């Protein structure tokens, strides 16, 4: 727990500094996360009995599916003003080509995917890339792109922190013990109710006026998507038979362990902003 707190104290200010600095800081941060995520995803596979060529093909495909969406969202949306629908279509094409290259190179029922499953693995990889690609999209929204980016990150961190501490202190009712034994109803509710004062605080600081019923709707949806993202990551780790995706962040594990909720949230929040015209 001590290492976890120290990592948060050091890491969170760096994250906010890069985001507030400029879009370049955000893209730099997202690029680093993309490459580390690709490396951690690759480690989930059974690669011992493969040739170096096959392993490289797989790793390159993982990089393709997790990193290129960020490039496309940055170039096409922020600089060429192409719509989100076109960007999404391009991303689907990238994911399809990635799968096609792998299937061409070797049977998709290979032992490499024995633990996780072929389609589960590639859908998860696509989700990671798709989530990271949404940060430039959200940041680019006018007139409050920067503020909205900071809001969703702050809400996610708040939910995670309160869910963790309240869950440890009062958590008795387990909600998904087979997937994540530490997740409790009490922890979830603690995280949920912590979002109400935080949302009010953030709206006041950034001088953003959001109707009360929309704020409540966003809070409830974000709390649920935080939990869903966390559970999705836990499920994939259980399938891969690993405890943490990596060890790059002391006390937290890997990049995927730390970004499980935020990647789900940024996707959900971006489209809530679009559809609800926040």
Which pLDDT value is given to residue 228?
Answer: 93
Which pLDDT value is given to residue 267?
Answer: 92
Which pLDDT value is given to residue 15?
Answer: 86
Task: Please state, in angstroms and rounded to a whole number, the distance separating the CA atoms of residues 174 and 164.
Answer: 13
Length of the chain: 278
Q: Residue 108 — φ and ψ, nearest 5°?
A: -70, -10
Which pLDDT value is given to residue 76?
Answer: 66
Which pLDDT value is given to residue 48?
Answer: 67
- Consecutive H or E run containing 129: helix 118-140
Contacts of 153 (CB under 8 A, 6+ apart): 15, 16, 19, 262
Which pLDDT value is given to residue 236?
Answer: 87
Give, in order, the Cα–Cα distances in Å from 273 to each of 158, 173, 217, 218, 277.
Answer: 20, 33, 12, 9, 5
Which pLDDT value is given to residue 107?
Answer: 52
Beta bridge partners of 174: 184
Total domains in the chain come to: 1
Regions of the chain with pLDDT less than 70:
1-5, 7, 46-51, 76-113, 246, 249-252
Which pLDDT value is given to residue 155?
Answer: 95
pTM equals 0.87
Which tens digit of pLDDT belongs to each residue from 179-237? 888 888 999 999 999 999 999 999 999 988 888 999 999 999 999 999 999 999 888 88
Task: Please state, in angstroms and rounded to a whole number, the distance separating the CA atoms of residues 37 and 19.
Answer: 19
* 8 A C-beta contact, residue 67 and residue 34: yes
Q: Which domain holds residue 131?
A: 2-276
Task: Please state, in angstroms and rounded to a whole number, the distance separating the CA atoms of residues 239 and 44.
Answer: 9
Task: Please state, in angstroms and rounded to a whole number, the distance separating the CA atoms of residues 271 and 278.
Answer: 10
Four-residue CA torsion sign, 169, 174, 175, 179: positive
CB count within 10 Å of CB 214 equals 13
């Amino acid at each position: 727990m001590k290492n976890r707190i120290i990592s948060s104290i050091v890491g969170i200010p760096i994250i906010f500094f890069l985001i507030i600095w400029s879009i370049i800081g955000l893209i730099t941060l997202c690029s680093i996360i993309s490459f580390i995520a690709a490396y951690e995803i690759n480690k989930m596979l059974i690669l011992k009995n493969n040739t170096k060529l096959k392993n490289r093909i797989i790793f390159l495909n993982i990089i393709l599916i997790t990193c290129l969406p960020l490039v496309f969202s940055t170039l096409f949306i922020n600089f060429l003003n192409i719509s989100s629908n076109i960007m999404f279509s391009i991303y689907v094409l990238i994911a399809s080509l990635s799968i096609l290259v792998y299937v061409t190179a070797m049977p998709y029922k290979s032992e490499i995917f024995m633990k996780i499953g072929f389609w589960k693995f590639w859908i998860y990889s696509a989700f990671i890339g798709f989530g990271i690609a949404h940060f430039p999209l959200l940041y680019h929204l006018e007139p409050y792109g920067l503020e909205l980016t900071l809001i969703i990150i702050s809400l996610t961190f708040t939910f995670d922190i309160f869910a963790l501490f309240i869950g440890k202190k009062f958590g008795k009712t387990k909600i998904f013990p087979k997937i994540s034994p530490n997740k409790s109803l009490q922890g979830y509710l603690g995280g949920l109710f912590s979002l109400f004062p935080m949302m009010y605080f953030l709206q006041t600081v950034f001088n953003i006026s959001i109707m009360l019923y929309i704020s409540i709707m966003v809070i409830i949806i974000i709390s649920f998507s935080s939990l869903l993202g966390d559970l999705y990551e836990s499920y994939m780790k259980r399938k891969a038979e690993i405890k943490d995706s990596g060890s790059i962040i002391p006390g937290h594990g890997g990049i995927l362990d730390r970004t499980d909720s935020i990647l789900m949230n940024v996707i959900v929040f971006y489209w809530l902003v679009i559809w609800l015209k926040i």
